[in-house]
Amino acid sequence: MKENVIIDLKNITKSFDGDLILDNINLYIRDKEFITLLGPSGCGKTTTLRIIAGFLEPDGGDVVFAGKVINKVPAHKRQVNTIFQRYALFPHLDVYENIAFGLRVMKKNEKQIKQKVEEMLALVNLRGFERRNIESLSGGQQQRVAIARALAVDPKVLLLDEPLGALDLKLRKDMQVELKSIQKRMGITFIYVTHDQEEALSMSDTIVVMDGGKIQQIGTPTDVYNEPKNAFVADFIGESNIVDGIMKKDRVVEFSGHVFDCLDGGFNENEAVDVVVRPEDVEVVAVGNGMLTGTVTSVTFKGVHYEIIVDIGGFLWMIQSTDVQNVGDRIGLKIDPDAIHIMKKSEYSGMFGDFSSYSEEFDELSDVNAGIDTEGEENE
């Protein structure tokens, strides 16, 4: 199971001014893996990254790199490099000298430096930018220089702290693809920190979902999406209808006043559980043909589908459907056994209610804030 491990975090704890930021983090990272630390701001993801980089020392626990404990090894001696949130390029140096910085510090000769810088510029598609001033570059170009600068010193692991936060949506999508392809080509480990679940899902080999200084779930993107461990993960990644249910017996669950077949088992008889149903897994059918019946309270056109909010016995469900419905219509809902995911009750149970308070606008506002955050002070 634990083969090819390059970084192993063992029982890491860290507090700032009495606030516990990391609460017993255990995580191993395989060589050449693209791993993402995902969570809301303040969850401890950036702190974890800074501990790996060597900018912070953990209060407790060990950071193991390639089999050796490196708690006391300073940042400049670690084979780990960082892409900073706002790139942290040296404004007094041009593109060439920024990329050459690490090589000069290592006292490489001029020929080696030139060769490496050219190679890096080619890698990030910035040939011909050697003598350009940093401030004359666009955000995306600065991002590329930061990547080239970090990769020029041949790190074993690259740490990326919300690297795409300051870019606009289109550029962000392009850079996602490019980062992934750079990681494949270089064959090194990427540890990526983001609060953007979509980014995490589309780029990662492994996602580590964090909240409140704890790891909530570690898994592949499909794992964390399809098999969320608790209500927090289900809510944070994608849209979810999370309802209270009772596990009647293995593979039979009751919720919203109906008994469903499902695929999960291993719970006690009549154990209270959280049930997750993804909006896209609910089928709209005629009243009577479905298991549940509800009233449509709102319909929003989203391009690919309609987002329909349905009132089922006072609980608002979100459903994504390609067929339009009318507000006020009574509709039936069909939920297949494989669309139902059962989770044990957790500290997060009941914290994520129905979609009555849900507002798309709010989501977008918080996204915008996240973008501004990275322009201003460092978050967390």
Partner 1 sequence: MSKSSSVSIGNQKTNLVPFSAWMVVFVLVPIALVVWFAFTGVDGFTFSNLKWIYVYKSTLWLSVKLAFIATVISLVLAYPIAYSMSRASEKVQRNATLFIMLPMWMNFLVRTYAWMTILEDTGLINSVLKAIFGADFQSLSLINNHGSVVLGMVYNYLPYMILPIYTALTKIDGSLLEAARDLGARGHQVLARVILPMSVPGIISGITMVFIPSISTFIISKILGGGKDYLVGDLIEDYFLGNSGVVNYNIGAALSLVIMILILIATFLMNHFDKDAKTNGGGVI
Q: Mark 83-111 as b/e (b = at least 16 C-beta within 10 Å).
A: bbbbbebeeeebbbbbbbbbbeeeebeee
Q: How far is the CB of 44 from partner 1 (least distance, A)?
A: 19
Tokens of 357: 């308070």
Three-state DSSP state, 280: helix
Start-end of H helices in 14-81: 45-53
Kindly list the strands in the beta sheet with 19-30, ordered across the sheet, starting from the edge strand earlier in the chain. 19-30, 5-16, 60-65, 68-69
- Element (H or E) spanning 172, and its range? helix 169-186
Smallest gap from Cβ 183 to partner 1, in A, equals 18
Nearer to partner 1, 54 or 294 (CB): 54
Chain positions contacting partner 1, by CB under 8 A:
53-55, 74-77, 80-82, 84-86, 88-92, 101-102, 104-106, 135, 149-150, 153, 378
Query: Where does residue 305 fall: left (phi above 0), alpha (psi -120 to 50 degrees), or beta otherwise?
Result: beta
> Judged by CB, which is closer to partner 1: 89, or 209?
89
Alpha carbons 230 and 288: distance in angstroms, whole number: 32
Q: How far is CA 270 from CA 136, 224, 227, 259, 296, in A?
A: 65, 26, 21, 12, 31
Query: Which is nearer to partner 1, 151 or 276 (by Cβ)?
Result: 151
To partner 1, the closest distance from the beta carbon of 14 in angstroms equals 17
Q: How far is the CB of 90 from partner 1 (least distance, A)?
A: 6
Of 2 and 76, which CB lies nearer to partner 1 in the complex structure? 76
Residue 199 has phi, psi (to 5 degrees) of -60, -45
Q: With respect to partner 1, which residue has the nearer C-beta, 72 or 76?
A: 76
Task: Tell me how far, at minimum, the Cβ of 189 lies from partner 1, in Å.
Answer: 16
Q: How far is the CB of 144 from partner 1 (least distance, A)?
A: 15
- Of the pair 82, 176, the CB lying nearest partner 1 is at 82
Cβ nearer to partner 1, comparing 77 with 184: 77
Q: How far apart are CA 297 and CA 309, in angstroms?
A: 6
- CA 115/CA 126 separation, integer angstroms: 14
The number of C-alpha atoms within 13 Å of 324 and in the hemisphere containing its C-beta is 5
Let me know if 114 is exposed, middle or buried by CB neighbors in 10 A (0-12, 13-18, 19+).
Answer: middle
- In whole angstroms, the minimum distance from the beta carbon of 89 to partner 1 comes to 8
Q: How far is the CB of 1 from partner 1 (least distance, A)?
A: 31
Identity of the residue, 89 or 275, whose beta carbon is nearer to partner 1 in the bound complex = 89
